[in-house]
Amino acid sequence: MIADTAATVLTDGQRKLSQTVREFADEVVAPAAYQYDTERRLPMEIIAQMGELGLFGLPFPREVGGQDQDYVSLCLAVEALARVDQSIAVTLEAGVGLGIMPIYRHGTPEQKERWLPDLVAGRALAAFGLTEAGAGSDAGATQTRARLERGAAGDEWVIDGTKQFITNSGTPITSVITITAVTGERVGSDGAVRPELSSILVPAGTPGLTVGEPYDKVGWHTSDTHPLTLDGVRVPASNLLGERGRGYANFLRVLDEGRIAFAALATGAAQGCLEEALRYAHERTVFGHPIGSNQHVAFTLARMQARVHAARLCWLDAALKLTHGKPFKAEASVAKLTAGEAAMANARDASQIFGGYGFLNANPVARHYRDSKILEVGEGTTEVQLMIIARDLGLAS
């Protein structure tokens, strides 16, 4: 358990939080996971209970309705949920890191007053519309455009473009989507002309904003993910989030933080696979002996435990650096790389230990096997993490 691994760094409150969310995951989320995975539907009643537990407000101060905790606490909650259901965990991770955090960090007092109370209470969800068909890792290739025009009630942003793979963008309680768009051009210090990327808040239901049909995904069936089309979307000029032209820099900070929570999610998935496989190794007998007495199975489980331990220490290190105001970009990439690979490897090994039962969707390890692949892609691919780490080592890439 996480309290055992991190006994020297977690506070009593953080250990209690981890245990509370773990119990919620076991008693509420896990029994419903297969049903909602099959139905491919985000269970709003479970999201509401997460809101009542204060999970969406964990890293935010009480003055905005939050729980006055820190990023480590958020990651603990994400990991505890991911043990039993990655879709529910990523709903929290994206809702906070991609949805709320940009508004909290860069919003005006008026924007915070409008959006934060419902978001930090879990009564509403927000999304972050960055990725496009040709602009994911290369956000500088963004094609969505926003221009200022005079409207009946004053200056308005008029937005045209498309977005892909946007989490929490089409739920019944989605209230706002932060859209990145090119708002002009700027000349850099080297004389090169580059697109000016800005962030703009688009309320759900705005005319011209179309939320496409949900994707038919390999995994994360319960997570809400849609493409978006913006066709002449008009919002007030005051919906600019942060400084004009700072959208690229602001989203980099969001992604760096998000990679730590993503690593915690992957660690939870790896932990869940370990727990299920260990239980089965004790229960399943072959030729009169539990399969766990077979050295190969025992060594496989030992490797799974080693991966979990390493992944957890990586995200804890990055999260603690973040909370103490120290540089953490490279550590976040190390954590995401290590934990993502641990989740995928543990899901494979757990499925193998279960044999034929590991190929049944009702089995949690089968769902983890499908779900875990995205952990090597989302929030920056494995290759992007390697590039960031290599640059930190002073190597060109």
Residues serving a catalytic function are 379
- Cβ burial of 152 (10 Å; 0-12, 13-18, 19+) is exposed
Q: Which value, to the nearest 10 degrees, does the dihedral of the CA atoms of residues 59, 60, 66, 69 take?
A: 40
Q: Is residue 269 within 8 Å of residue 83, measured between CB atoms?
A: yes
* Nearest in space to 102 (alpha carbons), one of 172, 202, 184: 202
Secondary structure class of 168 (helix, strand, coil): coil
Q: Is residue 285 within 8 Å of residue 291, measured between CB atoms?
A: yes
Residue with the two structure tokens 């995200």:
315
Q: Is residue 265 within 8 Å of residue 79, measured between CB atoms?
A: yes
* Integer Cα distance of 46 and 25 in angstroms: 10
* Nearest in space to 372 (alpha carbons), one of 18, 127, 82, 94: 82
